[in-house]
Structure 1
Amino acid sequence: MTKAMKGVLTAMLILLLTLAACSSDDSATTDDEVDDSGQDAENAGDDEEEEAEDDGLFSIDDFSNMKASEGDALEGGTITFGLVSDTAFEGTLNYNFYSGNPDAQILQWFDESFLTWDENYVYTQDGAATYETSEDGSVFTFTIRDNVNWHDGEPVTAEDWLFAHEVIGHPDYDGPRYGSDFTNIVGMDEYHNGEADTISGITILNDKQLQIEFINVTPSLVTGSIWTYPLAKHIFGDMEVADMSSSPEVREHPTGFGPFKVETIVPGESVTYVKNEDYWRGEPNLDGVILKVVNPNTVVQELQTGGVDLVSSFPVDQFPDNAEMSNVEWLGIVDRAYTYIGFKLGSWDGEKGEVVPDPDKKVADVNLRKAMWHAVDNTAVAERFYHGLRWNATTLIPPSHPEFHDETNPGITFDPEQAKQILDEAGYEDVTGDGFRETPEGEELVINFASMTGGDIAEPLARYYVQSWNNIGLNVELDMLEFNTFYDRVGQNGDDDPTLDVYMGAWSVGIDVDPTGLYGRNALFNFPRYASEENDRLLAEGVSEAAFDLEYRKEIYQQWQQLMVEEIPVFPTLYRSEVVPVNNRVQNYAIGDGTGVYLYELAVTSDQPLVAE
């Protein structure tokens, strides 16, 4: 897109949002209507068209999450998977070291977790390993199935599982995984601090059995807080821990025990897989998979021409214009994700492995942060540009976890006049007459804001937020960054850019509701670098023994959601749906959790992808 075109789109975006915010029309679809339409997915097409003609809005409830299977499947065949991104993938291709979603999209085809989970995010006995717990719930005994082997034919062992814990707990480990899930293992702190050569709480019973003892028995232990990804010791065992993540064994020749094997990699661009005939669930139907990076601006063309059969994601702002694409079936779910605005409130102490709040940060005043939340109209953004397939977010536990999402909490509502009043009362005044407010001390206030590049509306959307903050008298400067550079600057490697004040990010949340991995004091992914004693207390209570009482845990997480609304280290902008087009020749594909449909079952009904008419 040219600079001129971006300028036009930006102006249109801001104009439309301004009109939406000023409108008194109450006819727009509400969040409740989006969530509770209850439309049968089989009849979605007609109703979607009718709804689009009425108000341009769609409902995620009108989609199925499973691809219909029509026709006879071929033996073999190859599909092409589009990794939708405007930048090259980083290529850290091991679950123990990766940090970005693009790499996870590559990993899913050739490696996997030992455990699977059901639709309620609880571990099942259907994975590559099964488990038993002691009477008091503190000791888990895992048994790896006998036919689970690495791609080179070596068996996946209990030693590999222990080795993954030893590497992640090692002081020289440079990945993002070490945190509360690991420090809850008996003996992990002593091992991490160099006081012990082994992790006393992990015991190898035999080649295929591992036992882990936990310090605190929590409900999270069966919903995602156990590390279930082994590391092949026969490959990495003689390697220095500090060298592992950048090694050829991670970057160029990765291995796993999943349904497909990596055959070739073009760094940052594509991956070719062949089927793993020895896969533990059974031989895959397909002969292979080709993964290639597809730009968001060209994904529609790739789908229409059959250049890709499946995609990692689809820009929902492009859905209305392509809802009738004839060669695909649209799947949809409420995503375990949200977008958000984050405020840099401190830094990361790599030696201590914890957040260090800084009261002198530019956005340290909660009044400033609250005003910035009041200033933006996320409902207008969602309706005008995501057509109801994203919607205004209110708290940091998304509706993908309905038991814990507090739908009664309104968050901070759009009210620019209230935002101005808050700033006035906090002493942020325009003392120079240039239209922008100075600090309460009378000093110039320039807020540096970073956002990621992406599809057509990425930059216009970021500029809308800038304009909204300009409208309440704040001088905000925008820096658009590609994915890897963006996360480097916000601190994914522990090095926070001190010039960055505010950023727009997105989180895909885990199957476990516990938000400690994103907002805990010891979480590297706590990019705002926020910490408080009350936050510590609530996060600890959420995974305490008392939290086995579901009602108690709900209450704790409602309190935590309210604390985040009050202290605003970040504020959520939009909850998200995921809409995924699948070529009509594809069978046995589903999106979401607990579907019981696995990648080795994928099949095709024709040699070539079907092309749009």
Structure 2
Amino acid sequence: MGRRAGDRRDLLHVLHQRRHDGPGPQGRQHRRLRRPDGGADGAVREQPRDRGRAIAIDGFNELGFNCYDSDDSKGHPALRDPMFRQAFNWAMDLQKGVDLCWLGYTVPGTTIIPPDYYSDPDWHWEPPAEVKYTFDPEIAKQKLDEAGYPDSDGDGWREYEGEPIELGLIARVESAESQQLAKLIAGWFKDVGIKVNVEVMDEGALMDLQYEYTGDTFTPNYDMFLWGWYLDFDPGSMLSYFTADQIENWSDCNWTDPEYEELYKQQAVELDPTKRLEYVHRMQEILYEQTPYIVTDYG
């Protein structure tokens, strides 16, 4: 049962206590909180800088998908398919999003650990050119065709099990940038045959949908959302949010992967920084491939 947060201070209190009353580790303390003013955008918007100056990166913004692999999910079932989600990486012009929504004060993103935030070692994994997503709607269309989401009747909209696919996208009242980006995303997805309905709501209402219960059953009730994260002093906390035991807790995309789970356990106890770096890089690679998030920008 997701709690509604009335104002921003209430929202932070809810997040700090835990995101809901359901199962999960009790009493966990997290320094990593969603920014009260709308994600990883707060410092950038409060401290305007000349374009010629370096952008201070301490977090990221993302397009998140409801990946909950259960018939109890109220999200569109196509979103459980990593091939479906992956195709959207090619449909999105992240540089245009940065330029129009952030006025160039952020930079396009790739993985959940930004470059140069950590040092000795730098935990960021940078996708090599041969696997890095770039803006190419034709590739997005090809990937959707290959994944089994055709436009069989030629009306411009792709189908899932014979029915046109319509996805909801939630932007946040607290972030004008998310609202602008949502409009761009709706257009980009339309160009590859996916209809997107944008809805704007406050963060408390969004969390109610992300952590919705029907009786005692977890029934996350959304398709896609735009939000962001700060970084912590160690990458382990951010990486933990994509593990299975964080579903119904700090995970807001409800994604799991067995290889990722094992790597998380290994990196958590690995004392050799070089070996741990290998684990952390592979975890980012898996996230990049599976696409529970599309990291839209760093800032």
Q: TM-score range by the shorter chain?
A: 0.7 to 0.9
In the alignment, residue 227 of structure 2 is paired with which amino acid?
G
Q: How many aligned positions are there?
A: 275
Counterpart position of 1:467:
187
Counterpart position of 2:25:
178
Counterpart position of 2:10:
91
Distance (whole Å) between structure 1 residues aligned to residue 164 and residue 12 of structure 2 = 45
**Secondary structure in 2 matching 1:319:** coil
Q: Is the 8 A contact 1:176 1:525 kept in 2?
A: no
Does residue 382 (structure 1) correspond to residue 105 (structure 2)? The answer is no
> Relative to 1, partners in 2 of residues 1:99 and 1:383: Cα closer, same or farther, differing over 3 Å?
farther
Q: Say which of 245, 262, 269 aligns to 1:522.
A: 245
Does residue 391 (structure 1) correspond to residue 107 (structure 2)? The answer is yes
Greater share of helix residues, 1 or 2? 2
**Secondary structure in 1 matching 2:280:** helix
Q: Say which of 272, 275, 297 aligns to 1:552.
A: 275
Distance (whole Å) between structure 2 residues aligned to residue 499 and residue 228 of structure 1 = 25
In the alignment, residue 91 of structure 1 is paired with which amino acid?
D
Q: Is the 8 A contact 1:448 1:502 kept in 2?
A: yes
Q: Is the 8 A contact 1:347 1:496 kept in 2?
A: no
Counterpart position of 1:406:
125
Does residue 344 (structure 1) correspond to residue 66 (structure 2)? The answer is yes
Q: Is the 8 A contact 1:450 1:478 kept in 2?
A: yes
Q: Is the 8 A contact 1:396 1:561 kept in 2?
A: yes
Does residue 452 (structure 1) correspond to residue 172 (structure 2)? The answer is yes
> Relative to 1, partners in 2 of residues 1:562 and 1:393: Cα closer, same or farther, differing over 3 Å?
same
In the TM superposition, 1:90-489 aligns within 5 A as 90-91=9-10, 97-98=16-17, 174=21, 178=25, 313-314=42-43, 316=45, 319=48, 334-346=56-68, 361-399=77-115, 400-402=117-119, 403-409=122-128, 411-439=132-160, 441-489=161-209
Aligned-pair distance for 1:314? 5.0
In the alignment, residue 84 of structure 2 is paired with which amino acid?
L
Deviations 1:17-59 (A, max 9, x none): xxxxxxxxxxxxxxxxxxxxxxxxxxxxxxxxxxxxxxxxxxx
Unaligned runs of 5+ residues in structure 1 are: 1-86, 101-172, 183-226, 230-293, 297-311, 324-330, 349-355, 577-613
Aligned-pair distance for 1:380? 2.0
Q: Is the 8 A contact 1:92 1:98 kept in 2?
A: no
Distance (whole Å) between structure 1 residues aligned to residue 13 and residue 225 of structure 2 = 28
Distance (whole Å) between structure 2 residues aligned to residue 429 and residue 516 of structure 1 = 34
**Secondary structure in 2 matching 1:342:** strand
Aligned-pair distance for 1:332? 8.5
Distance (whole Å) between structure 1 residues aligned to residue 178 and residue 293 of structure 2 = 19
Does residue 506 (structure 1) correspond to residue 231 (structure 2)? The answer is no
> Relative to 1, partners in 2 of residues 1:176 and 1:513: Cα closer, same or farther, differing over 3 Å?
farther
Unaligned runs of 5+ residues in structure 2 are: 1-5
Distance (whole Å) between structure 2 residues aligned to residue 551 and residue 502 of structure 1 = 36
In the TM superposition, 1:28-39 aligns within 5 A as none
Aligned-pair distance for 1:361? 2.4
Distance (whole Å) between structure 1 residues aligned to residue 12 and residue 198 of structure 2 = 32
Does residue 563 (structure 1) correspond to residue 292 (structure 2)? The answer is no
Q: Is the 8 A contact 1:420 1:472 kept in 2?
A: yes
**Secondary structure in 1 matching 2:61:** strand
Aligned-pair distance for 1:94? 6.0
Aligned-pair distance for 1:498? 4.2
> Relative to 1, partners in 2 of residues 1:518 and 1:485: Cα closer, same or farther, differing over 3 Å?
same
Greater share of strand residues, 1 or 2? 1
| Identical-pair percentage | 23
